[in-house]
Structure 1
Amino acid sequence: MTYTVAVRELCEFTAKQGDLDLRFTPAPTALEGMAGHALAASRRGAGYRAEVALSGSYQTLYVRGRADGYDPAQQRIDEVKTFKGRLDRQPASHRHLHWAQAKVYGWLLCEQEQLAHIDVALVYLDLGTQQETVFTERCSADDLRQHFEAQCQRFIDWAEQQVAHRAARDAALNALGFPFGGFRTGQRPLAEAVYKAAMAGRCLLAQAPTGIGKTMGTLFPLLKAAPAQRIDKVFFLAAKTSGRQTALDALGRLSHSAPVLPLRVLELVARDKACEHPDKACHGESCPLARGFYDRLPAARAAAVATTIESKPAPALLQARVRDVALQHEVCPYYLSQELARWADVVVGDYNYYFDLGGLLHGLAQANQWRTALLVDEAHNLVERGRKMFTAELNPAALAQARSSPTTAQHAPVKKALDKVRRAWVALDKAYPAPYTVLETFPDKLLAALQQCTTTLTEHFTDHPTEPDSALQTFYFDALHLQRMADLLDAHSMVDITQASSAHHQRSPKPGDSVVCIRNVVPAPFLQPRLAAAHTSTLFSATLQPARYYADLLGLPEDHVWVDVESPFAAHQLQVQVARHISTRYPHRAASLAPITALMAQQFRERPGNYLAFFSSYDYLQQAAALFAQQHPDVPHWCQSRRMLEGEQREFLARFTTTSQGIAFAVLGGAFAEGIDLPGQRLIGAFVATLGLPQVNPVNEQIRERMQTLFGAGYDYTYLYPGLQKVVQAAGRVIRTPSDEGVVHLMDERFAQAQVRNLLPAWWQTR
């Protein structure tokens, strides 16, 4: 059996050496790199061949890739690298890696064209000046063959381990049985739908109720389909830590249920949670775990993915285990985990690792041509998370901090560039003084000033790599992201200016105090290519109604499959009461407090126990809690506060016990409105004092207009569907198991409207 590897991956494995060095080096974006390669190719002669597909074998290794270009007339192969800044500051380890790649391509071309020798050229294209620096070496085919075989030999032991691991993994997955006695009600149809979608290479949108075991019901069938579909990697993508933990628990259960399951499971966590030395910079002169990183990486990698430990399958590569291995080998845990993503079978991480413009997992999958399978947990969250990924904002505070930094004062070109941005910003605010303005395109003069500024800052950071300035870098990255989104601007996003309100300023706002934003409204154009790149994808949640809304906003392919799994719960388990005598509309808030608190107290006295009460804002929550405490001091209650830390959230939830009683006040759409599990007597009811509709404000009204233009459903797509999704999620906290019973009070007259009732779960019987 052969092992297939990309040229880039082969050389990344065999030719990287020395320190991990993440000192600021301005890097081209993927689009800039593609444009640079096209420019270099356009300058060559008529017979020049760009993007030459090449492949070759050595023993059990099959190597493939695309050379950037070949000039048959000169008998020269080009490896083109685009860059920004100064080439003389390039680390020697980078040049070593580039030569290794170029020479592998040189041999593959010599073999294909039957050449006795060839000129191998490293072409460095400066994106700022568009000047090329070319290093050329004439190589005999025999020398290139020896170089190729040496790289392959270094990789081949590892490749043979990988082939053996893959064979053992697939055999174990074929034999894997469901880890429980049987499927829960609703779990089997979900699992069948996931399996069929994987076997057909389709995208599945699955609405499945809470409590049926969605995580196991999606992971198990996808892993069963992996051998037949030659799936290299399964990416389980979650919106929150709780979702990642549920997936890791399910994978642990699968591993323990099988005699042997050689499945490499990797947990990816954020850099700030994995960094051992947050006070140090990421390079060998500062951080001991960056010094010699690539020299010690092979041993650390081998230890991490060792097949067995004391004759048992190796434990999952969770954060703690990766940290232990990393520290034993004196390498950085965060970057070790990123390297291990290449060798894991299942990777569990946040949405951004795949869907973000620079997503690590998507980049690796594309570079290595992996067949991937996606599981997107709590997929209703991907709409808002997607919008945030593809929104870019310029904040006046960031510019002010950059302009007042000591670095700026010492370097005239930096100060001049930042001042020019400030002047363009002031002029923009004078031209558009209204509190809120939407523009057709991004303003030319501000964009030009930003482009000039980022060029200047790029040069500054390149010339002063040992002088990090966090304020300057923060503004620089904000400006780069905004320029990138300006390049991609289309109907999916809008440009708006929000003038500072004097209520939020100690002084009166002045021109230049506005927030300038490229606001993504429809993430579909960005998410669609990522979904299309996977062999199969399943997006699942308890609240994906109506399906068309999610298909439109998430960019699902036209031939995607929809499944709505029937609830295992019966109507008698949940009393759903509509309080038609209450209106929570904004003008009626003050009048609603007395009937809301009276209804809550009445329900508690009829059936004492633990309840959650959800409100549309902290202000509304605090008003209701104050009145409740005044009128019903004997009923225990506790409240969610603004910006609660993780420890405070745990304390809030710890008050829900099987013997406690009381009412917890929380914000709809907040930390306690989804993703928490309080079965049995820990929670017996919920009060929802809102339809959850987003606030009517100038921004949302513009979004409504855009949704009306694009989909003919402005109000529904902007207000109704997002609001009721939050309501159903919050109410879903009450019934978690087939034996649970409880009550939900929907406290607003609008819940009685047919259009609203039709968006509530079918098994609810509202009264």
Structure 2
Amino acid sequence: MVKEKIKISVRDMVEFILRCGDLNDEFLGSSNLRALEGTKIHKKIQSSKGENYKKEVTLRYEREFDEFIIVVEGRADGIIVDDGNVTIDEIKTTSANIDEIDEAYNPLHLAQAKCYAYIYSIQNSLNMIDIQLTYYQVDDGDMKFLRYTYSLDELKIFFDDLIEKYYYWASMLYNWIRERNSSIDKMDFPYKDFRKGQKKLMVAVYKAIENGKNLFAEAPTGIGKTISTIFPSLKAMKKGLTSKIFYLTAKTIARTVAEETFNTLRTKGLKAKTLVLTAKEKICFNEKTECRPEACMFAKGHFDRINDALVDIFLNEDNFNRSKIEEYAKKHMVCPFEFSLDLSLWSDVIICDYNYVFDPNVGLKRFFQEKTDFTLLVDEAHNLVDRSREMFSAELFKKDFLSLKKEIKGKSIKLEKSLSKINSIFLKLKKRCGEKGYFVTDEIFSDLNGYLKQFIGEAELFLSNERKPFAGEAVTDLYFEVIRYLKVSDMYNESYTTYVEKKADDLKVKLFCLDPSKLLNETLEKVRSTVFFSATLIPMAYYMSLLGGNRQDYGLRLDSPFDIKNRMILIANDVSTKYKDREKTSEEIVEYIHTVVSKKKGNYIVYFPSYEYLNMVYDIYKERGIGYLLKQESAMMENEKDDFLRMFEDGRNGVLAFCVLGGAFSEGIDLAKDRLIGVIIIGVGIPQICLERDIIREHFERKYGQGYEYAYLYPGFNKVMQSAGRVIRTEEDKGIILLIDERFLHKNYIKIFPKEWFPYTKVNKSNLGFHLDSFWGNF
């Protein structure tokens, strides 16, 4: 019988077993700069070496135990072979004073190098080997070398002790995987019957994972997309095709649905460790998030207690949700957010926001450095287009630098000077805006980047010198904005453009990602399979092109499982909702709404393209004193959103809600049966014309000859389809969808109508009531 192999990297094993002390987000270690500059510096140092220097050497070691084999892998930065003497070179970047670096600076650095030295020694029959720790000071380029010599026996004692300690964790994981796989093997589909199209989707998901492909699946409401993607992914996990599943969402409610689905499967015997990741600011126990031992009792001694917390929760819980993480974090006095990140290593399934996987600034980098066998399930994938543009873009505002300069005046001459230099660059850019008030270019302004890097260095010194009470928060906020901007400038390629725009009394400089496909594809290439699914991936070619797809990917379009007799699509083309016509046609819109709600008592939602338009029509309707009205506000708290939706609990209430297209109540909400019997959609949903949308239009006009479609038509129509999808949620649901805008009957729209929108009925003010009576009269 072939023994199972449990893999871990040298770095992960060293950090996991040997870490201790406080959690500290201070800037002394320059972790942010190392993330920004580290790769470049490594390559620079490596390329400066001679022919006897082998760089990025992959090392692998297997240790067999009774039950399984532990595989330890890693890459040594460099191996120097000189006259028979061998030296392992480990390169580290730092912003600390180079004179302060000694053997006690960071014991984990030496421990990592000792592991590489041991593996290399036994593979090459060496009795003695040297280690060199190369420290590079990122601000001034100074370097320091710490050298050590070890015998094979010394290294063996160290490595054996390390791997024996890890064996406890590996055996715990091994036993769990056997238990998990046994439960998946016995697990049946949790529902008695399959919905129409459900089996087809499940087979497609499994085949995609089995064959290591990506799948783009357009599955209309009612098929049961969540269970239909999760169930086959778990079956693939049992077969050893994938070792970890990421369920990615854009909204909290979708994460809740995924968590509930796993709980349903647990009632059918599933045993799986699922983790729900919550943002740091939300899960932090303190009013203000400060990860320093002086400011937080959970940060002090965090690493001394974290492994005990991990064992405790792993042996006693399967659902690592927010409440459980908080419970065990308090019990063991550890940071709940860092605790959840560590739990991700021991979880079978991670339910989280898109950004944990795709965002270069906050992504779980521990998982996506190398090629893996992971599976990504991307829920409501249509949202990822704009979200990824946002993740890969960065902007800076002139006013932020000026304000900070005033706030720190007299407290740091060097920091003030760096802010002045940055401001001078902004002033030059402002002049280039001319009368238009903006300009677009392919430049990344290297002179600005140089001064921004100076600012980073001075900001770190300022913050490390305990001057926080004066302006620490303002410096920290801008520090991270600049870090983000510089990271994005490192990714800048032909998919980007830069624009500078005057904004009232301010100036914005933005590195704008027009086409996120290449950057998304970098992540897709590192996992086994990605399943993109949504009810509205129309047109599919648009989404495949922007979400990193390629010709080898699978595409699937499923029909709606619902009887079209239960719904009526009405299109009113005698009213213009274009911006210039809105005021003069608002009374007509009110008449349309009133006709719909008066024909059948129940709950309705009217969707508008903007709050301005919504408020205009709402005020007219309210004056007439008709029915019970609700209105979506532009900034609603989670509890206010919950209260809003609770008003739909009883279909007899006769609620009429005014909401915005693309807002919190236009997708992801499930108002089944008589909780919602109709939606009225005002306008075609095209995004407001603005500089960014026009830049996107020009780019895709040059690239595909479809600039308007990519910038305006497709994103807008997706909002319309999502809002229309709120009505029919189950086989018992019955309802109407009224689209008000003459443009809906143009050929550009009709050709992208989903299949279930046919047949539709053209209506006007005079015959709308007749068609509504005919429809409702059937039930």
TM-score range, shorter chain: over 0.9
Q: Residue 404 of structure 1: CA displacement?
A: 2.2
Q: Residue 483 of structure 1: CA displacement?
A: 2.3
1:277 aligned residue (272, 286, 292): 286
Q: Residue 463 of structure 1: CA displacement?
A: 4.7
Contact conserved, 2:442 with 2:496, CA < 8 A, in 1?
no
Partner in structure 1 of residue 254 of structure 2? 243
Contact conserved, 1:85 with 1:462, CA < 8 A, in 2?
no
Are positions 1:695 and 2:706 aligned together? no
Root mean square deviation of aligned Cα? 1.9
Partner in structure 2 of residue 286 of structure 1? 295
Contact conserved, 2:575 with 2:585, CA < 8 A, in 1?
yes
Cα distance in 1, alignment partners of residues 356 and 486 from structure 2: 22
Cα distance in 1, alignment partners of residues 445 and 23 from structure 2: 40
TM-score w.r.t. length of structure 1? 0.94
Partner in structure 2 of residue 740 of structure 1? 733
Contact conserved, 1:85 with 1:458, CA < 8 A, in 2?
no
SS for the counterpart of 1:746 is strand
Partner in structure 1 of residue 78 of structure 2? 69
Cα distance in 1, alignment partners of residues 384 and 551 from structure 2: 18
Partner in structure 1 of residue 777 of structure 2? none
Contact conserved, 1:365 with 1:372, CA < 8 A, in 2?
no
Partner in structure 2 of residue 491 of structure 1? 494
Q: Residue 140 of structure 1: CA displacement?
A: 0.8
Q: Letter of the aligned partner of 1:180 in structure 2?
A: Y
Q: Residue 444 of structure 1: CA displacement?
A: 4.2
Cα distance in 1, alignment partners of residues 34 and 518 from structure 2: 18
SS for the counterpart of 1:68 is strand
SS for the counterpart of 1:335 is helix
Distance 1:249 1:87, change over 3 A: farther
SS for the counterpart of 2:560 is coil
Q: Letter of the aligned partner of 1:394 in structure 2?
A: L
Distance 1:602 1:742, change over 3 A: same
Cα distance in 2, alignment partners of residues 642 and 46 from structure 1: 63
Greater Cα offset, 546-555 or 33-42: 33-42
Q: Residue 422 of structure 1: CA displacement?
A: 1.1
1:371 aligned residue (370, 373, 376): 373
**Where in structure 2 are the equivalents of 1:648-687 lying within 5 Å?**
648-658=640-650, 659-687=652-680
**Where in structure 2 are the equivalents of 1:444-459 lying within 5 Å?**
444-459=446-461
SS for the counterpart of 2:680 is strand
Contact conserved, 1:210 with 1:732, CA < 8 A, in 2?
yes
Greater Cα offset, 456-465 or 8-17: 456-465
SS for the counterpart of 1:21 is coil
Partner in structure 1 of residue 153 of structure 2? 142
TM-score w.r.t. length of structure 2? 0.93
SS for the counterpart of 2:11 is helix
Distance 1:170 1:134, change over 3 A: same
Q: Residue 92 of structure 1: CA displacement?
A: 8.5
Q: Letter of the aligned partner of 1:170 in structure 2?
A: N
Partner in structure 2 of residue 504 of structure 1? none
Cα distance in 2, alignment partners of residues 107 and 286 from structure 1: 40
Are positions 1:766 and 2:771 aligned together? no
Partner in structure 2 of residue 586 of structure 1? 579
SS for the counterpart of 2:62 is strand
Distance 1:185 1:278, change over 3 A: same
Deviations 1:307-361 (A, max 9, x none): xx4xxxx340001001111111111111110111111000001100000114443
Contact conserved, 2:98 with 2:143, CA < 8 A, in 1?
no
Cα distance in 1, alignment partners of residues 468 and 477 from structure 2: 17
Distance 1:591 1:663, change over 3 A: same
Greater Cα offset, 50-59 or 738-747: 50-59
Greater Cα offset, 437-446 or 44-53: 437-446
Cα distance in 2, alignment partners of residues 589 and 694 from structure 1: 16
1:32 aligned residue (27, 32, 37): 37
Contact conserved, 1:365 with 1:371, CA < 8 A, in 2?
no
Greater Cα offset, 129-138 or 145-154: 129-138
Contact conserved, 2:281 with 2:289, CA < 8 A, in 1?
no
2:540 aligned residue (542, 547, 565): 547
Q: Letter of the aligned partner of 1:423 in structure 2?
A: S
Deviations 1:178-222 (A, max 9, x none): 111122222211111101111111100000011221100100011
Q: Letter of the aligned partner of 1:745 in structure 2?
A: L
Cα distance in 1, alignment partners of residues 658 and 170 from structure 2: 56
Partner in structure 1 of residue 304 of structure 2? 295
Cα distance in 1, alignment partners of residues 363 and 492 from structure 2: 23
Contact conserved, 2:371 with 2:525, CA < 8 A, in 1?
no
**Where in structure 2 are the equivalents of 1:223-622 lying within 5 Å?**
223-258=234-269, 261-279=270-288, 281-306=290-315, 309=316, 314-361=317-364, 363-366=365-368, 370-406=372-408, 408-433=409-434, 434-464=436-466, 469-501=472-504, 509=505, 513-622=506-615
Deviations 1:248-301 (A, max 9, x none): 00011111111xx33111110000111012336212232111111111111100
Contact conserved, 1:57 with 1:63, CA < 8 A, in 2?
yes
SS for the counterpart of 2:91 is strand
Distance 1:175 1:396, change over 3 A: same
Cα distance in 2, alignment partners of residues 318 and 465 from structure 1: 38
Contact conserved, 2:23 with 2:301, CA < 8 A, in 1?
yes
Partner in structure 2 of residue 58 of structure 1? 63
Distance 1:89 1:654, change over 3 A: farther
Distance 1:87 1:303, change over 3 A: farther
Are positions 1:625 and 2:618 aligned together? yes
Q: Residue 31 of structure 1: CA displacement?
A: 6.0
SS for the counterpart of 1:380 is helix
Q: Residue 75 of structure 1: CA displacement?
A: 1.8
Q: Residue 94 of structure 1: CA displacement?
A: 6.5
Q: Residue 721 of structure 1: CA displacement?
A: 0.5
Cα distance in 1, alignment partners of residues 602 and 117 from structure 2: 74
Partner in structure 2 of residue 42 of structure 1? 47
Contact conserved, 1:85 with 1:459, CA < 8 A, in 2?
no
Unaligned runs of 5+ in 2: 762-779
Cα distance in 1, alignment partners of residues 21 and 34 from structure 2: 25
Deviations 1:531-581 (A, max 9, x none): 111101101000000111111111113211000111101221111111111
Q: Residue 669 of structure 1: CA displacement?
A: 0.7
SS for the counterpart of 1:129 is coil
Cα distance in 2, alignment partners of residues 90 and 345 from structure 1: 40
SS for the counterpart of 1:341 is helix
Q: Letter of the aligned partner of 1:297 in structure 2?
A: I
Q: Letter of the aligned partner of 2:225 in structure 1?
A: K
**Where in structure 2 are the equivalents of 1:707-746 lying within 5 Å?**
707-746=700-739
SS for the counterpart of 2:381 is coil
1:637 aligned residue (606, 609, 629): 629
1:95 aligned residue (106, 127, 130): 106
Contact conserved, 1:686 with 1:745, CA < 8 A, in 2?
yes
Distance 1:668 1:247, change over 3 A: same
Distance 1:238 1:165, change over 3 A: same
Distance 1:700 1:466, change over 3 A: closer
Q: Letter of the aligned partner of 1:655 in structure 2?
A: M
Cα distance in 2, alignment partners of residues 636 and 286 from structure 1: 50
Greater Cα offset, 18-27 or 114-123: 18-27
Contact conserved, 2:361 with 2:484, CA < 8 A, in 1?
no
Q: Residue 462 of structure 1: CA displacement?
A: 4.4
Q: Letter of the aligned partner of 1:637 in structure 2?
A: L
Q: Residue 656 of structure 1: CA displacement?
A: 0.9
Deviations 1:627-646 (A, max 9, x none): 11123x13221111111111
Contact conserved, 1:5 with 1:368, CA < 8 A, in 2?
no
Q: Letter of the aligned partner of 2:302 in structure 1?
A: F
Cα distance in 2, alignment partners of residues 757 and 446 from structure 1: 48
Partner in structure 1 of residue 203 of structure 2? 192
Distance 1:530 1:688, change over 3 A: same
Distance 1:123 1:444, change over 3 A: closer
Deviations 1:37-79 (A, max 9, x none): 2222223332111112222233432222111111111421111
Deviations 1:212-242 (A, max 9, x none): 2110010001111112244111000100101
Q: Letter of the aligned partner of 2:425 in structure 1?
A: A
